[in-house]
Amino acid sequence: MKTGTIVGAGLAGSLWAVYLAKAGYKVTVFERRPDIRKAEISAGKSINLALSERGWTALREVGLDRMVEDLAIPMYGRIMHDEKAKLTFQPYGEEGQAIFSVSRGGINARMMDAAEQSGDVTIHYNHQCVDVDFENTKVTLLNKETNETIEHQSDVVFACDGAFSAVRYNGFQKVDRFNFSQNYIADGYREILLPANEDGSYKLDKNALHIWPRGEFMLIALANEDGSFTCTLFMPFENHEYSFDKLNSRDDVDQFFREVFPDFHAMMPDVADQWETHPLSSLALMRCYPWTHENFALLGDAAHATVPFYGQGMNASMEDCYVMGQLMKKHNENWTEVFKEYQEVRKPNGDALQDLSVHNYKVMRDLVADPHFLLKKKFEHRIHDLYPEKYLSLYSMVSFSNIPYAEAMQKGKEQDDFIEKIMRENDIEARFENDTIDELIHSIFQAEAV
């Protein structure tokens, strides 16, 4: 019988278990934490996730899209909240296109159910990986409930155990010529749960991602199914006029929200009382290579953990599963060939997503309120309306297509240079005002290929 081991029962691990089971493998999954389905899943310790086309593609491939549809709340664009509580809406893509807010706990629980229902899959909880044996395709695990140590051997092993992967740490990082870097950004985050109204209704438009951009920092809010919003404040830890180290008392927090996010404070006047409910957490990017060694492979955050500012961490991890699944078929489960092509194909895209995510933080916290940026986005939208086959924005390539991240990033840079050049040479704002913008776009796009 074909056997596979997965370390980590998070989103990548649970989804990959389904792929392997459907390919006829006996799958054993080891998870360090207890079974989250037996605990109360609150909105949370972790940032809400945004499910977009890459994630849906990976779910559809193994028939799981319908299993999570009812958890997914469509968000058709961003709503910006300025200091005076003025709202501005920016659509994400074409009419009807959306990314979807999902709770991490909710979707993870569904994926675990799916894994257990998909074939010969067993999930062992409270089992921590403490050693790796590449030569014998074996992992050593500590049962945290009994303190017993066990060894588990199989044909292939997949490390889906997150940014601080135990398999990577205990195995890959001891291999000669393995490259690894861990970079923390200067900002941390803290979550706040904005409750529903007393009648259970939402206090904000649930079908948008809400952003309070403030230059060097921002607050965001994503809807939950119960009428609440998971809100996340991203801000420097220190060395800034507004930073986490300056919020040391209830009064500090209250004054900060009154001053900086007045409309949010009006919706949640007791925000200071909720401040300590969720921990202050850090954000890091992990880069490494190679992603495979012998019969072991890294998937998801274990290979390419990123920061959450493009809403693509989950989608990229699911896309790893999809690509690995396609390569299994292509190479008839010859794992040497599968792993070789997997890391060659996916590594540049993991790097590109990390670069895109860091850049999008600047866009979200600062540029979304910048008049030039807003005009450029308006111009881009109109170009796409008139020439959809020739122009797809970077955001649309990342969120509404399966174009590889590296290719999308490169094309996005070229398009941005192109748009900036047109804007320097023409008064785009005046063109919109006097209704000659379409004339300009036609003259450009009929004259040259983009």
- Do residues 341 and 292 make contact, with C-beta atoms less than 8 angstroms apart? no
Query: Taking 80 as the threshold, does the pLDDT of residue 44 lie above it?
Result: no
Query: Taking 90 as the threshold, does the pLDDT of residue 362 lie above it?
Result: no
Is residue 40 very low, low, confident or very high in pLDDT (cuts 50, 70, 90)?
A: low
Report the alpha-carbon angle 32-56-206, nearest 5: 90
Average pLDDT on 117-125 reads: 94
More confident call, 353 vs 370: 353
409's CB contacts (< 8 A; 6+ apart) are 352, 355, 356, 394
pLDDT digit string, tens, across residues 376-389: 988 998 998 899 88
Query: Taking 50 as the threshold, does the pLDDT of residue 9 lie above it?
Result: yes
Average pLDDT on 10-19 reads: 97
- Do residues 402 and 57 make contact, with C-beta atoms less than 8 angstroms apart? yes
More confident call, 88 vs 173: 173
pLDDT at 446: 82
**What are the distances in angstroms from CA 95 to CA 75, 122, 129, 253, 368?**
12, 43, 47, 39, 20
pLDDT digit string, tens, across residues 306-337: 998 898 999 999 999 999 999 999 999 999 99
Among residues 9, 6, 5, the alpha carbon closest in space to that of 113 is found at 9
Among residues 235, 352, 333, 356, the alpha carbon closest in space to that of 4 is found at 333
pLDDT at 340: 98
For residue 149, list its beta bridge partners.
142
Beta carbons within 10 angstroms of residue 185's beta carbon: 17
Please return the burial class of 250, using the count of CB atoms within 10 Å of its CB with bins 0-12, 13-18 and 19+: middle
Written as six digits, the tokens of 142 are 């500590």
pLDDT digit string, tens, across residues 388-419: 888 898 999 999 999 999 999 999 999 999 99
pLDDT at 450: 45
Written as six digits, the tokens of 259 are 């001053």
pLDDT at 42: 47
Is residue 370 very low, low, confident or very high in pLDDT (cuts 50, 70, 90)?
A: confident
pLDDT at 364: 72
Average pLDDT on 85-111 reads: 90
pLDDT at 445: 86
Is residue 46 very low, low, confident or very high in pLDDT (cuts 50, 70, 90)?
A: low
When the pLDDT of each residue in the chain is averaged and rounded to a whole number, the result is: 93
pTM (2 decimals)? 0.93
pLDDT at 369: 64
Report the alpha-carbon angle 154-142-12, nearest 5: 55
Rounded Cα–Cα distance for residues 392 and 119 (Å): 40
Cα 86 from chain centroid (whole Å): 28
Domain range list for the chain: 3-45+52-59+104-181+283-359, 370-445
Average pLDDT on 133-146 reads: 97
The alpha-helical segments, DSSP class H, found in 286-334 are 301-304, 313-330
Classified as helix, coil or strand, 110 is: helix
13's CB contacts (< 8 A; 6+ apart) are 6, 7, 29, 31, 158, 160, 161, 299, 300
The string of DSSP codes covering 352-421 is HHHHHHHHHHHHHHTGGG-HHHHHHHHHHHHHHHH-TTT---HHHHHHSS---HHHHHHHHHHHHHHHHH
pLDDT at 448: 59
Which CATH superfamily does the domain covering 3-45+52-59+104-181+283-359 fall into?
Answer: FAD/NAD(P)-binding domain (3.50.50.60)
pLDDT at 371: 84
Residue with tokens 């493998």: 25
Average pLDDT on 338-355 reads: 98
Average pLDDT on 150-170 reads: 97
**What is the DSSP secondary structure assignment for residue 197, as one 8-state letter?**
P
